[in-house]
Amino acid sequence: MARITLDPVTRIEGHLRIDVEVNGGRVSKAWSSAQMWRGIETILKGRPPEDAWIYAQRFCGVCTTVHAISSIRSVEHALNVEVPLNAQYIRNIIMAQHSVQDHIVHFYHLSALDWVDVVSALKADPAATARLAQSISDWPGNSETEFRAVKEKLTGFVNTGRLGIFSTGYWGHPAMQLPPEANLMAVTHYLSALDMQRKSAQAVAILGGKNPHIQNLCVGGVATAVNVDNLATLNMERIAALRTLMSETRDYVKKVYLPDMLAIASAYRDWFGIGAGVTNYLAVPEMVEDTRHQEFALPGAIINGGDLNGARILKDHQDPKLIGDISESVACAWYKGSASLHPWEGETEPLYTDFEDNGKYSWCKAPRLAGRPVQVGPTAQILAGYAAGQPQIKALVDSTCRTLKIRPEQLGSTMGRLVARALRASLMADLSLHYLDKLVENLARGDKSYANHTQIPKGEYRGVGFHEAPRGTLSHWVVIEDRKIKNYQAVVPSTWNSSPRDEQGTPGPYEASLVNNPVAVEEKPLEVLRTIHSFDPCIACAVHTIDPDGKEITRVKVL
């Protein structure tokens, strides 16, 4: 038996350590450990609730807007504030465009190189690559000239020893299965995808005032002045610019990202049978379409044991099964106390031991829904919509399953999570433009309101702000007392997914998904990375230092 420690495994901010025991070429046991304490919720105590979102959007190093949205919703929920339609539409566009950017970056820059062999791309024939790319998409960038140029640049880099950003890959690993042409196609799109994520970021900046940290929220709406005729506000010119940017990213998602995803998935079909792990899923409704938070375009659901027919469909964020049944266990986490607490009662008092295989081993608490571990993220979002019969999601899933010859339930697998994310990117790209149309229509009807400005009253109020973020269900829980924050807890998507064991010893989604993963070469546990990266992990957000000596931080220890 071999024990492999990977620390850290994330390709972006965050400290996640994964330990696996390997028996006969397969993982038999796994531990997921967040290696840094996030005590940052305590910063909010005593501050005015109307400012919470400004701090909250710094919780995470990558997803700033999602914490802003959840935070503002928690205060609006506590005070029962209605939000005007224009503000809902603007928030919806921001959420959808943020998702488009996030999903593009995850696929190309954070996970594709687990499947795409850059060194093999050097052997590709550019003409054959163009034929391959043109057979799956009519994207105008798929020309022989483009592929040849990228191949030459790559060759130059490799010849000067400057593999740089690609130096971390496990090239030539036996689990790499794409032909050279598919590898060159994917690497070419890896480079062009940066231009697209820039366009999404620009769209968010037009509405949010600023990117990466938006400036335009307020309790009761948005601070984006809306007047189609006024130059200083969100006017027709800016709306036209938004439409151009968001149409370009939609085309890229549909003509590049989705076809690439399907091509890679077809080459690695066995990965639809690996990495399911926890098949209890949670997604909350998202994309609000009224002022009172009762109508949503995308339904949520609680799915137990992968049973789509028996799913409990969530129509809004007020379902008692949602608000009442969430608790966080610290049995295996480095915190004081042993009881599982509801987030409104949540405590964050550190108690560090050491890494104990059978005791405490993570800074991440273990969130549970009615005592069960739950997987969140694109698979949960897509399966929830599918179970509820949401028409766009149903059409996307049915056509994809036909193409890949899989069942919808197989979206709960290592490859399935990547495919579900691509489907969600496509959905979000469409919804961005849909809500821009709704905004313009609503303005044309004469509705100019964009905020119900709200004073925080004296007394005690409790609220929760749910949001379906790119990585899954996010919730911010606030207790307000006499205009100040008394308690604040954020239950983030990666906490659900990277959760350690609970008091029953039940593993969290990462841990469960790794069991039975193949490991061909113990020193190069590529297959473990594939499964963990499929969740798009973002742990203990936001420690960010530059290491000037370039010391190797990851320890791949084989014991």
Partner 1 sequence: MTTLIYGAGNLLVSDEGFGVHLVEYLRRHWSFPEAVELLDGGTLGIMTGYRVEEVDHLILIDVLDAEGSPGEIRRYDLQDLLLDRLPVKLSPHQIGIQEMLSLSALRGRLPQSATLFGVIPASYEAGIELSPPLAAALGSVADLVVAELERLGHRLISHRRTNATC
**What is the CA 449 to chain-centroid distance, rounded?**
31
Q: What CA–CA distance (Å, rounded) separates 84 from 96?
A: 18
Least Å from the CB of residue 542 to partner 1:
4
> Residues 95-124 vs partner 1: string with x where CB under 8 A?
------xx--x---xx--------------
Does the annotation count 67 as an active-site position?
Answer: yes
Least Å from the CB of residue 528 to partner 1:
12
User: Beta partners for 221?
Assistant: 218, 451
Does the annotation count 401 as an active-site position?
Answer: no
Residue 301 makes contact with partner 1 by CB under 8 A: no
Does the annotation count 63 as an active-site position?
Answer: yes
Judged by CB under 8 A, which of 127, 307, 554, 559 binds partner 1? Answer: 554
> Residues 38-57 vs partner 1: string with x where CB under 8 A?
xxx-xx-----------x--
Residue 318 makes contact with partner 1 by CB under 8 A: no
Longest dimension (CA), the chain: 70
Judged by CB under 8 A, which of 137, 197, 381, 495 binds partner 1? Answer: 197
User: Residues 108, 193: contact at Cβ < 8 Å?
Assistant: yes
Q: Which is nearer to partner 1, 88 or 498 (CB)?
A: 498
User: Beta partners for 296?
Assistant: 288
Candidate segments 24-32, 58-66, 135-143, 175-183, binder of partner 1 by CB under 8 A: 58-66
Residue 543 makes contact with partner 1 by CB under 8 A: yes
**What is the b/e burial string over 269-306, where b = at least 16 CB atoms within 10 angstroms of the residue's CB?**
eebbebbbbbbbbbbbbbbbeebebeebbbbbbbbbeb
**SS3 (DSSP) at 219:** coil
**What is the CA 265 to chain-centroid distance, rounded?**
19
User: Residues 503, 338: contact at Cβ < 8 Å?
Assistant: yes
Q: What CA–CA distance (Å, rounded) separates 500 from 534?
A: 18
**SS3 (DSSP) at 527:** helix
User: Binding to partner 1 (CB under 8 A): which residues in 213-252?
Assistant: 213
Residue 168 makes contact with partner 1 by CB under 8 A: yes
Judged by CB under 8 A, which of 4, 9, 366, 436 binds partner 1? Answer: 9
Kindly state the number of chain residues that form the binding site for partner 1, as judged by CB under 8 A: 56
Q: Which is nearer to partner 1, 72 or 393 (CB)?
A: 72
Which of 148, 467, 471, 476 is flagged as catalytic? 471
Does the annotation count 541 as an active-site position?
Answer: yes
Angle at which helices 391-404 and 414-444 cross, to 10°? 150
Q: Which is nearer to partner 1, 160 or 358 (CB)?
A: 160
Judged by CB under 8 A, which of 4, 5, 14, 226 binds partner 1? Answer: 14
Does the annotation count 293 as an active-site position?
Answer: no
Q: What CA–CA distance (Å, rounded) separates 406 from 411?
A: 8
Least Å from the CB of residue 488 to partner 1:
12
Q: What CA–CA distance (Å, rounded) separates 32 from 501?
A: 9
Inter-CA distances, 303 with 148, 259, 326, 352, 527, Å: 47, 29, 15, 34, 27
Which of 15, 33, 63, 71 is flagged as catalytic? 63
Inter-CA distances, 65 with 71, 215, 377, Å: 10, 10, 17
Residue among 31, 28, 175 nearest 517 (CA) = 28
Please give the positions annotated as active site.
13, 60, 63, 67, 471, 494, 538, 541
Residues that bind partner 1 (CB under 8 A): 8-15, 38-40, 42-43, 55, 58-59, 61-62, 64, 101-102, 105, 109-110, 153-154, 157, 160-162, 164-165, 167-168, 191, 194-195, 197-198, 201, 211-213, 541-550, 552-554
